[in-house]
Structure 1
Amino acid sequence: MENPPGTVGVGPWEGVWPSGPQWDAELLAHGDTRNVVDEYRYWKHEAIVADLDSRRHNFHVAIENWQHDLNIGSVVRTANAFLAREVHIIGRRRWNRRGAMVTDRYQHVRHHPTVEEFVAWAQSAGLRVIGIDNFPDSVPLETYDLPRDCVLVFGQEGPGLTAEVHAAADATLSIAQFGSTRSINASAAAAIAMHGWVRRHVFNQRVGSQLS
């Protein structure tokens, strides 16, 4: 079953079944306990992915995985929530999917064995590489004008971004902190940065269109 223990979904469809290619007869007959929003209840998996693909945002997310980082699952889950175009794993292909809460079934995930291959891909795709980490030359995420077409790159817990990614990035951004610790959790940093992109390119755009 896809749903985590204790998750409550919906039972079998009551009444006349809806018609259309997106509906899953098995789910309509037996119920849908998947971890999906109500809009996608009883939909086929491929229909959900196709609908998400039709409206994904322009930003990508990448995370380095040289030491089997356990945060990757959480990053994938957040990327799904903010409708990132793709998630990119740099380094080791294998990662712990438990934290993704099955959202990796709906989120495109691409693997790049090396930083060099990742950077070459980003350049060919016309995406600016934006690192997120605390370096002496980092600029505040809060005041930086995030580009619309970009890939936000995060280092793994502890080491942070490698020197190779830092050198290849168009800019490296830091997240403002006010406590005693030097850094915050990698998955938390990813969530903050993704939300920053959404605020800049989704909500601000909506507000601007409403005022014009």
Structure 2
Amino acid sequence: MPEPSRELTTHGVGPWPGEWPEGEQYDPELLANGDSRNVIDRYRYWTMEAIVADLDARRHPFHVAIENWQHDMNIGSIVRSANAFLADRVHIIGRRRWNRRGAMVTDRYQHVVHHPDVEAFAAWARAEGIPIVAVDNVGEAVPVDRAELPERCVLLFGQEGPGLSGEALAAASSHIEITQYGSTRSINASAAAAVVMYEWCRRYA
């Protein structure tokens, strides 16, 4: 494969040099004009549909769920991390609308589904036979590095500040937390989500 031109932007590549590669995954417009998207080199010049199809064939069996009662701006960042760690799905519980700015368009490649409330979300999890793992530093939560973390599960995160609702905590089959060493009681919700997703990948990916 020829080395693509780097003239477009520091984050992308320019038009494909020389004879175009063959394959249905390639987008003629991107080959002709360059690809400035924030994608790994494997997916340069691919259509969005081809990228999603390839990701779908390799997705990990963990899901991510987020309560959305206060239009938390961290949700976009959590979606971005879910894409980076190749989660199966992201579940938004509560308000359907969420701030996509932090996702940096990764929601185009990540399946995002909506549940109107915790009851509906819990019903989905029961029907699928997927345990809910609540992530919040409350009660007798077990530190994530020592906790039992099922390979097939849904990691449930609360909002910045209030954390998970009582209903969400009650719906979970286990509770985990992230060990901290400083003075603050909690860390940023999107940072916490990334830590737990990485721990899952460290064990299973």
Q: TM-score band (shorter)?
A: over 0.9
Residue 27 of structure 2 is matched in structure 1 by: 24
TM-score between both structures, scaled by the size of structure 1: 0.91
* Contact 2:11-2:38 within 8 A present in 1 as well: no
* Contact 1:90-1:114 within 8 A present in 2 as well: yes
Q: Does 1:162 align with 2:162?
A: no
Q: Which runs of 5+ in 1 are unaligned?
A: 1-5, 203-212
Residue 3 of structure 1 is matched in structure 2 by: none
1:81 & 1:13 partners in 2: Cα distance? 26
Letter in 1 for 2:175: T
- 1:162 is displaced (CA, Å) by 0.5
* Contact 2:134-2:175 within 8 A present in 1 as well: yes
Question: Which of residues 125, 130, 137 is equivalent to 1:127?
Answer: 130
Q: Does 1:136 align with 2:135?
A: no
TM-score between both structures, scaled by the size of structure 2: 0.94
Cα-to-partner distance string for 1:186-208 (whole Å, 9 max, x where unaligned): 00100011001001112xxxxxx
- Alignment coverage as a number of residue pairs: 197
1:1-212 superposed matches below 5 A = 8-202=11-205
- 1:7 is displaced (CA, Å) by 5.1
Cα-to-partner distance string for 1:112-134 (whole Å, 9 max, x where unaligned): 01000000001111111000001
Cα-to-partner distance string for 1:55-93 (whole Å, 9 max, x where unaligned): 000000001000000000000000000000000000001
Q: Which runs of 5+ in 2 are unaligned?
A: 1-8
- 1:136 is displaced (CA, Å) by 1.4
Runs of 4+ aligned structure 1 residues displaced above 3 Å come to: none
Letter in 2 for 1:57: H
1:181 & 1:116 partners in 2: Cα distance? 32
- 1:8 is displaced (CA, Å) by 2.8
DSSP 3-state at the match of 1:48: helix
DSSP 3-state at the match of 1:62: strand
